[in-house]
Structure 1
């Protein structure tokens, strides 16, 4: 007899997505012992299939709150920026009065807290794009994030996210529910859509939620048993084998006692923990091809700091977490590209509270062996008032879709940019190697 669990399950996935994904959709928040007994028994009764093998993986990190790209990668020879930021400007000169910028090319300097990135830049495996942003000039966090994740900066009605569309353009049906995984507590806007995606808050808890867009068909069950009874003669029995196989892989893996390769130590931050779990999934070869996670706290209106403070801690965590992830991948590095994004940048001038306000363009980082690295891509004019957008902001000179599409094309072999980014007809900028 099945044990009764007083937990509701919410499935939000289209029938097409459900059938293609293998049929498992669980949200196990707060489950005692992880997977319920009946499902564990069902999984245990299946024969574990062979691993899906190595796959090309695109990992996206959203820096929520709007990162100050001018402080992360500073045009330190720009006298206008120095005048606009008397308390925030940092130099590449070795003065002995504080940490200096890491001189990348005689013009741009990397924030000293991002020193973990320097070897990758020198080895030409880290590329930077400056002046990147959205053509929509909104300075609303919510709207700008929504536009960037949907990939349609002038259409609020787009139901799908650009990464979900990328999944649909992979050239094959998802053979595992872990084709696209977000290590977040909620499904990101980038993953909304008809193609199967999964949000996992923590591998140890098996807290898994699969869903499509909010308008998709949904079904609530009073218990796991109710859900199983309703589907046991249909979807689960017909299409669920791959799902059970994948869950069995997770169940058999000792994720709690995972030991990273090369004696890597991840930061104990939320981002470090998420990237550590993404590394585990890549190494387990569960068929993942798209991964997503996020870093919060980039809205630096107050006390931004220079070589110490909020911003320094954030960029230190970002770079250290990414490099721990990269070094942990070891033999998988050729198959993985990591790309960051943020909704917009900060004002050129500092404000009266030691911070910066909502701006326009920022910068992003792309890490991988197929990246055209060792360069700061994009265009930036001197930061004189006449060159600033609206007289206050770093102008957007590179549409984010130019970079996102190029990275997706090169890494995932996704070439239908009309579907990936509707209404965009721009040019790529050469951030990836041919």
Structure 2
């Protein structure tokens, strides 16, 4: 078997990252980039962007409230968690905004069901078998290409259009290389598995070329983000990348300025900073969306944590953003304003933000986005003026 479809074989033949990009990805439309970060577990929006100017916030949160003196100020009502220093820096120059009360279209507190709805883009759980971002790939004037970063392709990118997938790790040793060669021979005549396996080898080889054959530790958020950015900026690289960050299910001992959640927010901040650094000049043409399946309860529980809630903070970052204030309305935290007397009430459907980004940033047709990408979503009007 020829070496040229194995990782080492590709590198040994001197194939450049440019050519690998041409093999693996079709041309991206317009050079604009979109990165979606899914914060899994139910990220607490009231800690991501603490509404320290709301008089009910400190009362509801008690010992886990972020003190106004520690919050990184956005305006008279909102700040950012102190671990989000890079995001705050971007906000100060108009390259980050928050939607502080965003939610999926149905009121669900199950992780599995809520993540399904977040990623399928329908109006009900299991309302679509494909992901909304996969459906978006063939909606524009030219097909878009996407990259999934992680061990599994998330639902948001699953569907009829094959997305590239890269799972960072220690790389393949000699024995694994031989196994890859055997599998490639085995799948050579398979119309489905053959191209998929070859594509995976090409993506892995491209990762090696872009990273100088240095293995990337998936636990190093900044390095992982920089490597993701290198894929996006490779000649004819993908337009879209999706990453998942876990660990946001903080039922007990959540912490405040420091602690369990603070550690996860620091990882998120390092990820955004790594993307900015790795993208370089392309950052000005990039939008990053950070979204979660649901928020947490407004009141702290008896174990100094928070239970599954409803609305949370959606974060936008990137050099392509227009400067602006908060996105959507703020319902407040007065008892009469809480959803079911326990949660931050949603005022914005997350699909409204997704639509606005797809149409205004990636140039997709609004009618097709409404009909094909987000069916049955007439009530979720696109947010305009984001880019």
* TM-score normalized by the length of structure 2: 0.84
Does 1:70 find its partner at 2:46? yes
Q: Deviations over 1:279-325 (max 9, x none)?
A: 12123224201100011100111111111101111111211220122
Distance 2:360 2:50 in 1: 28
Question: What SS class does the counterpart of residue 182 from structure 1 fall into?
Answer: strand
CA pair 226-70 structure 1, distance change in 2 beyond 3 A: same
CA pair 419-278 structure 1, distance change in 2 beyond 3 A: same
After TM superposition, give the deviation of residue 271 of structure 1 in Å: 3.6
CA pair 108-40 structure 1, distance change in 2 beyond 3 A: closer
The answer for the alignment partner of 1:11 in structure 2 is none
Does 1:354 find its partner at 2:304? yes
CA pair 246-299 structure 1, distance change in 2 beyond 3 A: closer
After TM superposition, give the deviation of residue 349 of structure 1 in Å: 0.4
After TM superposition, give the deviation of residue 157 of structure 1 in Å: 4.0
Q: Conserved in 1, the CA contact under 8 Å of 2:223 and 2:274?
A: no
The answer for the alignment partner of 1:227 in structure 2 is 187
Of residues 125, 129, 133, the one that matches 1:159 is: 129
Distance 2:200 2:58 in 1: 56
Distance 1:268 1:158 in 2: 30
Distance 2:119 2:12 in 1: 38
Q: Conserved in 2, the CA contact under 8 Å of 1:130 and 1:376?
A: yes
Of residues 141, 146, 155, the one that matches 1:180 is: 146
CA pair 142-311 structure 1, distance change in 2 beyond 3 A: same
Of residues 79, 82, 86, the one that matches 2:58 is: 82
Question: Which blocks of at least 5 consecutive residues in structure 2 are unaligned?
Answer: 174-180
CA pair 300-35 structure 1, distance change in 2 beyond 3 A: same
How many equivalent residue pairs? 367
Question: What SS class does the counterpart of residue 165 from structure 2 fall into?
Answer: strand
The answer for the alignment partner of 1:202 in structure 2 is 168
The answer for the alignment partner of 1:256 in structure 2 is 213
* TM-score normalized by the length of structure 1: 0.75
Distance 1:124 1:345 in 2: 25
- Aligned 1:397-416 pairs, distance under 5 A: 397-415=347-365, 416=368
Distance 1:40 1:280 in 2: 17
Distance 1:151 1:231 in 2: 30
Q: Deviations over 1:373-432 (max 9, x none)?
A: 352222122311211111110011000100011111122112222211000112233461
- Aligned 1:8-407 pairs, distance under 5 A: 35=7, 48=19, 52=27, 55-93=31-69, 100-173=70-143, 179-202=145-168, 205=171, 223-230=183-190, 249-250=206-207, 252-257=209-214, 269-407=219-357
Q: Conserved in 2, the CA contact under 8 Å of 1:48 and 1:248?
A: no
Q: Conserved in 1, the CA contact under 8 Å of 2:52 and 2:78?
A: yes
Distance 2:255 2:203 in 1: 45
